[in-house]
Amino acid sequence: MEVGQMDHDVIVVGTRAAGAATAMLLARAGLRVLAVDRARFPSDTLSTHQVQVPGIARLGRWGVLDRIAAVTPAVPVVRLDAGSAVLEGRYPAVDGVDALYGPRRTLLDAALVDAARAAGAEVREGFAVEELTRDPEGRITGIRGRLRGEGRGRGPDSGRMTATARLVIGADGKRSMTAQAVGAGSYHVRQPVTFACYSYWSGVDVPPGSIHVRSGLTVPAFHTNDGLVMIAMFAPMAEFDRFRADPEAGYLAALDRCGDLGERVRAGVRAEPFRLAPDVPNLFRTPHGPGWALVGDAGVVMDPVAGQGISNAFRDAELLAAAVVRGLDGGGLDEALAGYQRERDAAALPVFAMTRALATLRVSGGQRLLLSAIADDPAETSRFLGVLAGAARYDEYLRPGNVLGRLGGGVVRRLRRLGRPVTAACVGGGRAPTVAGDATDATPVSG
Ligand SMILES: Cc1cc2nc3c(=O)[nH]c(=O)nc-3n(C[C@H](O)[C@H](O)[C@H](O)COP(=O)(O)OP(=O)(O)OC[C@H]3O[C@@H](n4cnc5c(N)ncnc54)[C@H](O)[C@@H]3O)c2cc1C
């Protein structure tokens, strides 16, 4: 039995970082929103969860931060240890927010789902979308799917539901069923280059936020909820097969390359299993078409080493919600969605370039020089951390005038003697692809 035909302005498929935020913003704008997710919240997912300062600023603006900040340690200071060069400093403030937080996804996603409901969106948990419906011209008109588990009832059609809307938004993650159903094209596609392994520890004495970078290795360690520390490691994909034969040994060996981190971790207790993440694609998808749009990882996914995915999802939720409100308000939906793609790409490309550069897991000689040159200057350190946090534009930071000023004449002369292109030597050594679609590979400089 069909549960019923429904009529909404917008249906959102997926209710985590991107979907719940988009549903919340659209409902707040007065639209009739149905949001569905096959998960039931609170629900964990395969992801670490440092939310960078710009993402936290958005949570603050949306009124969702208080609930998270009440139980999650703030991380206003981060220590970046690149071996011979170590930086420690404060994040620059964005809209009055000057700390990163690392809330567990069980907390963050549930808070957003609650905020979407409170805004008036109808949220159906445990509902798996199986297909999209179309009109005779091929325009997407809705979803068809099934309630899973509890409350589903009996019989072959039990829990089935068809719902219609003027727009279906796929916020259903990097393997988006929505994107596949509409045949969304992809661009700026790059092969996966890293894998991640992470777990949670109690009784480990480490600062609230630290990142160790070694050749072929990045290890973020951040305090999270319940007194635990999340410690992840990112290593080259080429090492994954060997690593997965014994993740614990590989993980501890990696931490042993980071000063006394391995020792500190062995003094603590692992609170949860190791999680392995070898599936980290890098690509943009065309995020709109007749009757559909994509947001979050469904639309742009990048290597998690830079910890930008959640903040990207929040940013794009705002951009998409504004475009949808404009478009459904008589401004022309297709045109508004084309504007969303332009704005999204302009904002995401510099972050993508930085992420790809960091995903090379290489620290060049030029980068070490830069870190040493700014380490004693709190304002410069903060500015650099703002770039890593996505609060300042990576491509702006790499402008020759900026970099030369920071390095000082002596360092520049040394780089030139080494034959190094000075501006390519910083942050990760890449250059930002342009909005017009030039996503040529970064050119990291190994030291
Ligand atoms: C190892 C790893 C570490 C990471 N660390 C960080 C980090 O520290 N900081 C950071 O900012 N980002 C990090 N990321 C990236 C981050 O996880 C993603 O960018 C973010 O989760 C994207 O949110 P989303 O809402 O777009 O998609 P998702 O979080 O993937 O949510 C998609 C939702 O859609 C639902 N769904 C899918 N298909 C259907 C269907 N057919 N019907 C109904 N529901 C459906 C799923 O159940 C899911 O709840 C990491 C990622 C990985 C893999």
pLDDT tens across 267-323, in order?
999 999 999 999 899 999 999 999 999 999 999 999 999 999 999 999 999 999 999
Nearest CA to ligand 1 atom 11: 310
Q: Which atom of ligand 1 lies closest to the CA of 299? A: 26
Instruction: State the maximum Cα–Cα separation within the chain, in Å, rounded to a whole number.
Output: 77
Provide the residue count of the chain.
Answer: 447
Measured from CB, residues less than 6 Å from any atom of ligand 1 are 13-14, 16-19, 36-39, 45-51, 128-129, 171-173, 177, 196, 277, 280, 296-298, 304, 307-311, 313
* CA of 177 relative to ligand 1 center, distance in Å: 13
β-pair partners for 78: 89
Model confidence at 401: pLDDT above 50: yes
Q: Which atom of ligand 1 lies closest to the CA of 17? A: 25
| Least confident segment among 73-77, 204-208, 400-404 | 400-404
Q: Give 90-125 pLDDT, tens digit per residue.
A: 999 999 999 999 999 999 999 999 999 999 999 999
**Whose CA is closest to 388, among 293, 291, 320, 306?**
306
Q: What is the pLDDT of residue 404?
A: 63
Domains of the chain: 5-44+104-188+281-353 (3.50.50.60), 194-277 (3.30.9.100), 362-425 (no CATH)
List all residues 6 or more positions away from 66 whose beta carbon is below 8 Å from its beta carbon: none
Q: Which atom of ligand 1 lies closest to the CA of 52? A: 11
- Average pLDDT along the chain: 90
Nearest CA to ligand 1 atom 18: 309
Q: Which atom of ligand 1 lies closest to the CA of 178? A: 41
> If residue 56 lies in a helix (H) or strand (E), which one and from where to where?
helix 53-62
- Rounded distance, CA 100 to CA 209, Å? 9
Whether omega for the bond prior to residue 278 falls within 30 degrees of 0, making it cis, is: no
Q: 46 and 69 in contact (C-beta within 8 Å)? A: no
* CA of 125 relative to ligand 1 center, distance in Å: 16
Q: 9 and 321 in contact (C-beta within 8 Å)? A: no
Q: What is the pLDDT of residue 353?
A: 94
DSSP 282-293: EEEE--EETTEE
Q: Per the structure block, which two tokens stand in for 48?
A: 């670490």
Q: What residue ranges in 171-318 does DSSP mark as E strands?
A: 186-190, 194-202, 209-214, 217-223, 229-236, 269-270, 275-277, 282-285, 288-289, 292-294, 300-301
